[in-house]
Amino acid sequence: MAKAVVTNSSRKAQAEPLPVEFANTLSAARGCTVEGLGSPADLEAWLWRHRDLFPDPGPLREETALRASEQQLSHACVLRDAVRRLIAARVDRKAPHPWDIAHVNRASGMSQAWPVLVWQGTRAPGADSLCTADAVTHALSLIARSLVVLLAGEQGALLRSCRAPGCVLFFYRHHPRRAWCSSGCGNRARVARHQARHCADNRK
């Protein structure tokens, strides 16, 4: 497949687990790799759109707090690639690369957060959270932790690669009959099978 020549940060979330959605920021279209994190603004937008998937959305409550640097974008892409390789290793039941494990483990510890009590006057008390890093770094750390939980838990056995021709996305198989990341990929796969059978019949 050709190297990334297209940038597209607008792919809609498919309601997959957080690490899978993050892995799927790299997709494919017409034989080319599509990069969903092509700029710091793309990373900021992706984190904001997926804020409800984070286990601790506290630092992500304010969109203005999400200000990514070029260095953070580079780190996000490196982390994303490690996440993709580890998910692929889990899906294919192959040995993971030690570097990918080490990188995810380092990212997991980049930030720590704790709850704080918010209580003003006679208003009802509430809770917020503080963390040791900025919102973007904390978000990437949470993605790494979510991957650890996903791969080490029972849900990891239900991770799959889309079987549609040319698709590079992963998905969580919440239904036994699910074989594709989306209905669109399912339709393309059925069309490809039909065309293959038609060509085979013509050769007879």
The SS3 call for residue 169 is coil
CA distance 78 to 69: 14
CA distance 176 to 193: 21
More confident residue, 176 or 71: 71
Angle at 103 between CA 62 and CA 162, to 5 degrees: 80
CA distance 135 to 127: 17
The SS3 call for residue 22 is helix
Q: For the CA atoms of the chain, what is the radius of gyration?
A: 20
Mean pLDDT of all residues in 37-53: 96
Q: What is the pTM of this model?
A: 0.84
Query: What is the distance in angstroms between the CA of the first residue and the CA of the last residue of the chain?
Result: 32
- Res. 1 pLDDT band, cuts 50 70 90: low
Neighbours of 136 (CB within 10 A): 24
Q: Tally the domains of the chain.
A: 1
- The mean of the pLDDT values for the chain is 87
- Res. 5 pLDDT band, cuts 50 70 90: very low
Task: Write down the pLDDT at residue 4.
Answer: 47
Per-residue pLDDT tens over the stretch 139-181:
999 999 999 999 999 999 999 999 888 899 999 988 877 888 8
Mean pLDDT of all residues in 110-127: 93
Q: Which structural domain range is residue 194 located in?
A: 2-203
CATH of the domain at 53: 1.10.3300.10
CA distance 2 to 150: 30
Is a pLDDT exceeding 80 seen at residue 86?
yes
Q: Which residues contact 35 (CB under 8 A, 6 or more apart)?
A: 4, 6, 7, 8, 25, 26
Angle at 87 between CA 85 and CA 89, to 5 degrees: 70
CA distance 29 to 27: 7
Write the single-letter amino acid at 185.
C
Task: Write down the pLDDT at residue 190.
Answer: 63
